[in-house]
Structure 1
Amino acid sequence: MAQEQLLQFLEKVRQLNQFVALTEAQPALRQQLEDCSNHQQVVNLARQNGLEIGRRWGELQEPTQPAQPAKQSNIFSSPCPPPGQESHQLLIEQPGLRIERIHSCGYASPRDFWYGQPEQEWVLLMQGCAELQFEDEAQSRHLGPGDSLLIGAHRRHRIVATDPAPGCVWLALFWPAVGAG
């Protein structure tokens, strides 16, 4: 097995383990997983939670579908998800770029869970206030409307808290890390 394939395999296993831990910590997410009827729905659910589990052995990139127009025209128009939840809406996906709208309502990552996706991520908080913690920083960061962050690939972070209804609305851009497959 080539070193690159081994690293890809180990990363997928790590991401799968994170997904299992997340579904065990969040009953609502576990129910969403139970409601999935095919592999792609599971992959999409994992992606909505910052995890990439869809690559198969030897695939360098996820197969992509042509970008579809967003179902809503106003980024602020959807209702807040239930307290303690997040909703994700894929706005654009094409090779090398994914843009999501995330709506958090009184949400916090599970206590021992850290995001650490293989992509670069830039987030812009457009509505509400949130507290974000990086594993390598002693103090969490308070974010308000208009604040943005660049989160390097594999940099472990978690959501400490987001505002209750009407919640936080985020715009998140994801792209491959330099030198990634």
Structure 2
Amino acid sequence: MQLPEQPVAGQPDPTTRAEVRKLAHAVETALTAELATFHRDTTPLPVVGSAPPVEQPGRPSMSSKAVDRNVTILTSSFLTLAAGGAVSAVLWSSGHANETVIAWICGGIVAVPVALTLPVLALKGLMKSAKGVAEAAPQPVTNHFHGTVHHDERTVTSTTRGVIANTRNHH
């Protein structure tokens, strides 16, 4: 829309209109411009020698297994706290709160998951250790010979004694 350049009674003068047009153009440019809101540097980090990373001072890093167990412990303790708090709140609000009943209920909320979880974890550990033993066991050696073979099963016993070593092998 074109605005008239001639001053009209009660209207701003042309210089003010020009400033308003500049401001409107700057706002329009800013709204239509695609400005980057983030920058990701994808250049690889320089390799300095062949040494492995060095553990930094402070709290040591945890393995992924330790992190998983930590998360499990934290979530289960939060759920136990929430369930015990909800039961206690219901009993207290109903007017039937008895500290013995609340203790048994909270104990049950803690004991039942633990009683169900411990055998499962023990069985899981047993299965893992059995798998580790099976993988660590030496593979049986099977030799296939073709032709005449002589297999010597003698045992040699060796003793070394004296200031000047003298070894005698006995068949």
Structure showing greater Rg: 2
Q: Which has the higher strand share?
A: 1
Same fold (TM > 0.5): no
- The alignment's TM-score, normalised by the length of structure 1, stands at 0.23
